[in-house]
Amino acid sequence: MTIAEACRLSMLVADDSGTLIDKLDRTLSTLAAVDVTTARTLPETQVALDAMDFDLVLLATSLQGRFTGPIAERLSAEHCPFVFMVDGASRQYDLRPYPSLSQLTRPISREALREVLRGHGFLPRPPLVLILEDDTDLWFQWIDEFGKRGIDCTTANSIHGALRTIRHSRIDAVVTDMVMSDIDGHPSSEGGERLILNLRDPSLADLPRWTFDVPVVALTGSDPKSQALPLASRLGANAVFRKPVPPAVLADAVEELLDGPPSG
């Protein structure tokens, strides 16, 4: 059993870009069982290192204009694996004296992060897709196709169940029907519309901040003249389909969104 199989691993991300830290935090959590601590200044980084031992450190070459060489020296002395995050500005620093395990070049892609985690013993976890759909027959078709691709699924048949799941699970993508049956069995667009609204503005339903970036695939089997799909696109859905959609086509779309644009 590897260390990654035995327990969650701890990682420190030291970078002064709040946007990058948020993206890395979410991306790392989708790729592996990792607890991420962040620091944006040299003193914050020192405090974090004083407070606990980390399995891996992602280290920017400078924090607020100050070279992170002293941090790299400390990590080397303490035998803590670290990886420099480099960009064009890094060329002003001589990194050769600092034995980082590797370097991540900005913009940092999901695949590059995956390779770093794999190379240092982090245990990747499968992506988790939330399906909001009230047709259980479709659930099983989609879950079967996603499972063939190594993607886990969790399901909900109401907006309330979907929001509850998002608050308690790290969801990597959402597939939602735009027109579902209400409590009286009548078609209603409230579920899918509300879900997308809440994802794109997490404060509306007290959702975690990371949900803002969760990719959404919206579907509908309603009248072709329905405005459900154009509405979904305006609200922030990343892809839309009219049902019936072949499970393989849906899974292809979700996989493409999961790979997504680079971080950083």
137 pLDDT higher than 90: no
Residue 84 lies in a domain: yes
Task: Give phi and psi for 105, each to the nearest 5.
Answer: -100, 130
Q: Are residues 222 and 143 in the same domain?
A: yes
Q: What is the mean pLDDT of the chain?
A: 84
Highest mean pLDDT among 12-16, 23-27, 121-125, 218-222: 12-16
Using the 3D structure, point to which of 68, 94, 119 is the last residue of a domain: 119
188 pLDDT higher than 60: no
pLDDT (0 to 100) of residue 184? 46
2 pLDDT higher than 50: no
Tens digit of pLDDT for each residue in 28-37?
766 666 788 9
Q: Structural domain tally of the chain? A: 2
Using the 3D structure, point to which of 84, 119, 154 is the last residue of a domain: 119
4 pLDDT higher than 50: no
Tens digit of pLDDT for each residue in 54-111?
989 999 999 999 999 999 999 999 989 999 999 888 888 989 888 888 889 988 877 7
Question: Assign residue 206 a region: left if phi > 0, alpha if psi is -120 to 50, beta otherwise?
Answer: left
pLDDT (0 to 100) of residue 181? 59
Tell me what the mean pLDDT of segment 13-23 comes to.
80
CATH code for the domain in which residue 171 is found? 3.40.50.2300
Tell me what the mean pLDDT of segment 148-158 comes to.
90
Residue 223 lies in a domain: yes
Tell me what the mean pLDDT of segment 113-127 comes to.
74
**Structural domain of 8:** 3-119
pLDDT (0 to 100) of residue 18? 73
pLDDT (0 to 100) of residue 155? 94
Q: Give 157-174 as a DSSP string.
A: SSHHHHHHHHHHS---EE
Residue 65 lies in a domain: yes
Using the 3D structure, point to which of 86, 119, 152 is the last residue of a domain: 119
Q: Are residues 207 and 235 in the same domain?
A: yes
Among residues 185, 195, 186, 153, the alpha carbon closest in space to that of 171 is found at: 153
Tell me what the mean pLDDT of segment 185-211 comes to.
80
Q: Which two tokens stand for residue 99?
A: 């034995």
pLDDT (0 to 100) of residue 31? 64
Among residues 112, 72, 69, the alpha carbon closest in space to that of 93 is found at: 69
